[in-house]
Amino acid sequence: MAAAALLPPPLADGALLKQAMRRLVGGVVVVTAGIGEDRVGFTATSAVSLSVDPPTMLVCVDRRASTWPVIARRRHFCVSILGAGQQAIAERFAGIGGVRGAARYRDADWSIMKSGASGLTEAQAIVDCTLDEVIERHSHAILLGAVREVRLSRVERPGLAYGNGRFIRLSPE
C-alpha cells in the first residue's frame, strides 16, 4: 500500500484542459518576429508582463509553429496588443484563410522596432523585446523578453478579446 501512495496522481485529459481554457477570456495580441521576407507571426492570448523592474514580457509559442525558429534565430519578438476593429488581423495571423509568413503583414501598416521586429502601427500598444531566456517545456517554448521599446496608441478604443472560440469586442464602460 505504501508504494501506491507514492505514485503521482494521473494527469488530467489534455483535451478537457483545452476546453476549460477556451472559457477563459483573454486579450488578443499578434506576436511577430523576423525581418523582410523572413517575417512571421501568430495570434495569441498568452502574452503577459512578467515584471516591470526590469521590464520583461512572457510569451508562449508552440515549438512546431513556423514562428519559433525565427524567434530563436533572430532573438527578438514584438507583441502588438489589438483593439476593436482589428479582428481581421488577428484572424490572418491565426492562419485563417491559409495566409502564411510575410504575406500575413499585407494590408496593415507596420513599424520597425528597436529589436528589428515589426509592430502593428495602429495597435493599442506595441511591446518590443529581445529574447532574454527560453524555457522549453513539452510542446511549447516559454519566452522571456527584455522590453526594449513600448509604444502606446494616441487613440484608445475598446479592446479585442477571445473566449469560447470567438472574438469579443470589449466596451470601455
User: 170 and 161 in contact (C-beta within 8 Å)?
Assistant: yes
Q: Does domain 27-165 have CATH number 3.20.20.70?
A: no
Give the model's pLDDT for residue 70. 98
Q: Give which of 134, 3, 8, 28 is closest to 79, Cα–Cα.
A: 28
Q: Please report, for the chain, the start and end positions of each structural domain, with discontinuous segments joined by +.
A: 27-165
Phi and psi at residue 61, to the nearest 5° = -135, 135
Give the model's pLDDT for residue 113. 98
Report the C-alpha gap between 67 and 83 in whole angstroms: 22
User: In 10 A of CB 76, how many CB atoms?
Assistant: 23
Q: What is the pLDDT of residues 100-139, one digit of tens each?
A: 999 999 999 999 999 999 999 999 999 999 999 999 999 9
Residues 6 or more apart whose Cβ sits within 8 Å of residue 5: none
Q: Give which of 154, 39, 17, 134 is closest to 92, Cα–Cα.
A: 39
pTM across the whole model: 0.91
Q: Which is more confidently placed, 31 or 5?
A: 31
Give the model's pLDDT for residue 12. 85
Q: How confident is the model at residue 1 (pLDDT cuts 50, 70, 90)?
A: low
Whether pLDDT at 3 is above 80? no
